[in-house]
Structure 1
Amino acid sequence: MRRRLFIRQSLFAFAIAGTNKILSCTSTEAKPVDYEIKQFEDEGLSHFSYAIEAGKKLVLIDPSRDPQPYYDYAAARGAEIIAVIETHTHADFVSAHLQIHQERNVPVLISKLAKATYPHQPFDESDLLSISDKVSLRAINTPGHSSDSLSVVLEVDGNDVAVFTGDALLLGGVGRPDLREYSGEAASQREYLAKQMYETIHNKYSPLADDVLVYPAHGAGSLCGNGLSEAKVSTIGHERKNNFAFQSTTEDAFVTRLLLDQPDVPVYFPFAVEVNRDGAQPLLPALSTLARLSAIPRGEPQSLIVDTRSAEQFRAGHLPGAINIPDRRKSETWLGTLVAPDEPFYLIVEDQASIQPRLEKIGKIGYEALVKGVLIYDEQQFDQKSATFDTTDFKANPTQYLILDVRSEEEAKAKPVFAETKVIPLSRLKEQLDSINTDKPIAVHCASGYRSAVATSLIKKHKPEAQVLDIGENIKQYGDDHT
């Protein structure tokens, strides 16, 4: 039996500026459009979130940490946010669901299986949320990525139009089932969840019509899936023809394929799950309390220092023992991979204008509380310089170097660059530093220079006696395709 949920209007209305692209949904018939879908994209985390509007009422699905773009969109549309739906407790980013609940006085809907501790309303199989007299959202439980995963079907005049699949059905693949073992659950869960995903694909998604639109919570590059399409929206029909999950003939074949060669899991994932289960506090007030420092306090020379300036700036001068995680796309993921949730750190930026955007990135993974203070680059303090990679000597005497490849094992195997190479993916480097011999100069490379810059600084921090050289962008001289 369907349980229909009725949401009273919220009491708050205000707007904050933000920008995002709109995806308009149009009917195939010549009649007024009854609803509107907007897709928000966070490229750094390959995260999609959504606003569904009908009758000047708006429901958010899987919002990111910053609620401002959603508020702005609602104000621009003259619509009111009436609910937030979470498809599961996310591992790769921290959501603003609790903040939106507090600021807009609207309910958060999530599966009862999520065991959320913040104020929420259960939303499970066949439950309906009415947005207007013609438009409703229907819950279907879709376990596999996690036991609490649900998808949201958009119904218009009783017809299925779209499905918001969270991390369950992704474009070209499905959500990985091995994250919960890193969140304190049994390792055997990965095979159990993989089997659940097989049932979900064939019993929950397959019955949907081919023309039903598919809107996932993640796209290509997300660590919640593997080998995903670059597309941002698809259809059930397209996925039925092109997604391996629909084509696996047996459960065993599906499970084997799904568990094969999954990427390493960043250490912050279990932490983010717990933050989302409890609900994160508002971000901007938390950032406003962080201290802006002129120097690291005396007595803390061993403190962890994360320098977010470019690799070139870092090599020219940095604080001793700092690790370099340059601010680029996915830098927040690398921060959450190399810095554990129990490791407070000082943050280095290049100028005043960089402070707020860097902190907001850190807040996306819930790490703002780890920042002990922010320092702006000062040439007088940053007197440690990195050794320069000598291309000529390296080409003449390659055997005199230990060559360290910090790409993934799959990349290193598919596109080997040097004959004699030690491969340690950057995601595992911190745990395998003791295996690196420092008798020779260590020449570090990746595919473009980003990961090698991070790795070089990490090795130097933990092995200050080593001569560590970043091949950097010079790697492009040794192969045809380094991306």
Structure 2
Amino acid sequence: MAGGLAVEVIETSSLGDRSYLATDGEVAVVVDPQRDVDRVIAAAGRWGVRITLVVETHLHNDYVSGGLELARLTGAEYGVAAADDVRFQRRPLSDGDLLEVSPRMRVRAIATPGHTFHHMSYVLEGAEGPVGVFTGGSLLFGTTGRTDLLGEEHREELARHQHASAHKLASLVPDGAQIWPTHGFGSFCSATQASGDSSTLREQKAANPALLLAEDDFVQQTLAGLDTYPAYYVHMGVQNAAGPGPIDLREPARADREELRRRLEDGEWVVDLRSRKAYVRSHLVGTVSLGLDGPMVTWLGWMIDWGAPLTLVGESREQVAEAQRELARIGIDEFAGAAVGTPEQLAAAPSQLRQIPRASFADLARALAGESGGRPAPEVVLDVRTKNEFAASHITGAVHIPLPELERRIGEVPEGAVWVHCASGYRATAAASLLESAGRTVVHVDDPFHAAAEAGLPIACT
């Protein structure tokens, strides 16, 4: 509790985002809710409070908002920046607007452009004044929101706005106030990797480049650090401006063995939701490994052709339901079908079953020295990390194709057995499944990248 108010964090770790419920014990305000609003309603139920206000910091680019639906279900007022062009009724908010949520709780809207042109932050005020600020994609922990999502032509102008907005917040909010960002916990909406799990403004003044650097230096650093972002982002702002419909979590139609085989033979997207370790031990050839033990929704949303038929394969109905919820958050609601069971149970013929050899970076070092340990000798080392990751450091001589580009660039992978790696092993499993489907001999390097140098592999940087 701060100033008689409480704030509950509703985390969506798969997308690197947070939503918030702030309450005085009787009523509540919700900031930046995800599309699956049942989590927010459950939080309000635990507190025994009524949601009377829902606000958005911006039209989100990395997820479909649940704000409109939450306001409809609860009867709450829905606040969105007045300058945003939306096609639904809302309370238009401008810089300095004060929202009296209750006699003990107020929310003050502060225009903080930078992540988007019309971005708003919200200062939470109790009886004794400000206790914290919901910063959305403005001031994050150790960084700020990226400034290129509205087009490359705007990124420098928005970076300058971002710097000014950070200083504006620093001048309006007391040093002891909590900072509650929406992005920055692994989200590609942050300009650089955020650090920490909680923070005050005082701590950000000592650590955040936006508050430490001069404007030109901040802009230069911010623009230099921007990497590519998920392709599905282009669809999010459009849906959020139009007004997203209610979430649909009804179970998809069940696909039997023959239906699965037909879809795989037709080259459709059939995603295996099991862990990567389970996948490499046994799977149906042609399936893509994107397990729920990692950021499945981000990478699938980035890789898939928008609107392409999609079938989910899990060990249980619970796995399929979890994947549905994750995908609904980025607007993927329709599925060709789903199947539940082990690969052996779902195979229409034994010839569909495959295994992929696993290895560590130490195994790779030994194999490059001529000791393959029974695995195919490494003729190609493929790195599927992002451009910034590869530029920072990579194995000398490695071929670099980021995972989201691999399917369309698979013909660029040189001939021979491919040992594929990423930063942890998750993306490498997805890449190995794509390579195997293309008829390539592949070994999955399932190891953290720092182990490459520890294994004695030569490391270079761009």
* TM-score of the aligned structures, taking structure 2 as reference length: 0.87
* Partner residue in 1 for 2:267: 302
Q: Mapping of 1:97-246 within 5 angstroms?
A: 97-157=67-127, 159-181=129-151, 187-246=152-211
| Structure 1 residue runs without a partner (length 5+) | 1-23, 28-32, 182-186
Q: How many pairs were matched up?
A: 439
* Partner residue in 2 for 1:11: none
Counterpart-to-counterpart distance in 2, 1:341 and 1:303: 13
2:384 aligned with 1:406, yes or no? yes
Change in Cα spacing, 1:123 to 1:412, as seen in structure 2 (3 Å) is: same
Q: Please say if residues 281 and 356 of structure 2, whose CA atoms lie closer than 8 Å, have aligned partners that are also in contact.
A: no
Amino acid at match of 2:235: F
- Measure how far apart 1:477 and its partner are: 6.6
* Partner residue in 1 for 2:306: 341
Counterpart-to-counterpart distance in 2, 1:78 and 1:409: 47
Deviation per residue, 1:371-414 (Å, 9 max, x gap): 21111235154323144358575541788611111223443444
Q: Please say if residues 112 and 165 of structure 2, whose CA atoms lie closer than 8 Å, have aligned partners that are also in contact.
A: yes
* Partner residue in 1 for 2:7: 37
Amino acid at match of 1:388: P
* Partner residue in 2 for 1:432: 409
Question: 1:367 is paired with a residue of what secondary structure?
Answer: coil
* Partner residue in 1 for 2:36: 66
Change in Cα spacing, 1:157 to 1:268, as seen in structure 2 (3 Å) is: same
Change in Cα spacing, 1:90 to 1:326, as seen in structure 2 (3 Å) is: same
Deviation per residue, 1:426-455 (Å, 9 max, x gap): 243334323212x21111112332111111
Q: Please say if residues 294 and 376 of structure 1, whose CA atoms lie closer than 8 Å, have aligned partners that are also in contact.
A: no
2:449 aligned with 1:470, yes or no? no
- Measure how far apart 1:474 and its partner are: 9.4
2:430 aligned with 1:454, yes or no? yes
- Measure how far apart 1:55 and its partner are: 5.7
Change in Cα spacing, 1:405 to 1:297, as seen in structure 2 (3 Å) is: closer
2:454 aligned with 1:480, yes or no? yes
* Partner residue in 2 for 1:15: none
Identity %: 28
Match 2:286 to one of 294, 298, 321: 321
2:247 aligned with 1:278, yes or no? no
2:261 aligned with 1:287, yes or no? no
Change in Cα spacing, 1:117 to 1:420, as seen in structure 2 (3 Å) is: same
Q: Please say if residues 94 and 109 of structure 2, whose CA atoms lie closer than 8 Å, have aligned partners that are also in contact.
A: yes
Deviation per residue, 1:293-348 (Å, 9 max, x gap): 22327864232211222223333443332211121232211111111323221111
Counterpart-to-counterpart distance in 2, 1:337 and 1:70: 27
Q: Please say if residues 145 and 177 of structure 1, whose CA atoms lie closer than 8 Å, have aligned partners that are also in contact.
A: yes
Counterpart-to-counterpart distance in 2, 1:298 and 1:452: 24
Counterpart-to-counterpart distance in 2, 1:116 and 1:160: 30
Question: 1:223 is paired with a residue of what secondary structure?
Answer: coil
Match 1:374 to one of 334, 338, 345: 338
Match 1:388 to one of 357, 375, 378: 357
Deviation per residue, 1:340-371 (Å, 9 max, x gap): 323221111122332211211122222122x2
Q: Please say if residues 13 and 185 of structure 2, whose CA atoms lie closer than 8 Å, have aligned partners that are also in contact.
A: no
Counterpart-to-counterpart distance in 2, 1:68 and 1:60: 13
- Measure how far apart 1:199 and its partner are: 2.1
Match 1:359 to one of 320, 324, 329: 324
Q: Please say if residues 53 and 101 of structure 2, whose CA atoms lie closer than 8 Å, have aligned partners that are also in contact.
A: no
Counterpart-to-counterpart distance in 1, 2:449 and 2:107: 51
* TM-score of the aligned structures, taking structure 1 as reference length: 0.84
Amino acid at match of 2:234: P
- Measure how far apart 1:140 and its partner are: 0.8
Amino acid at match of 2:116: S
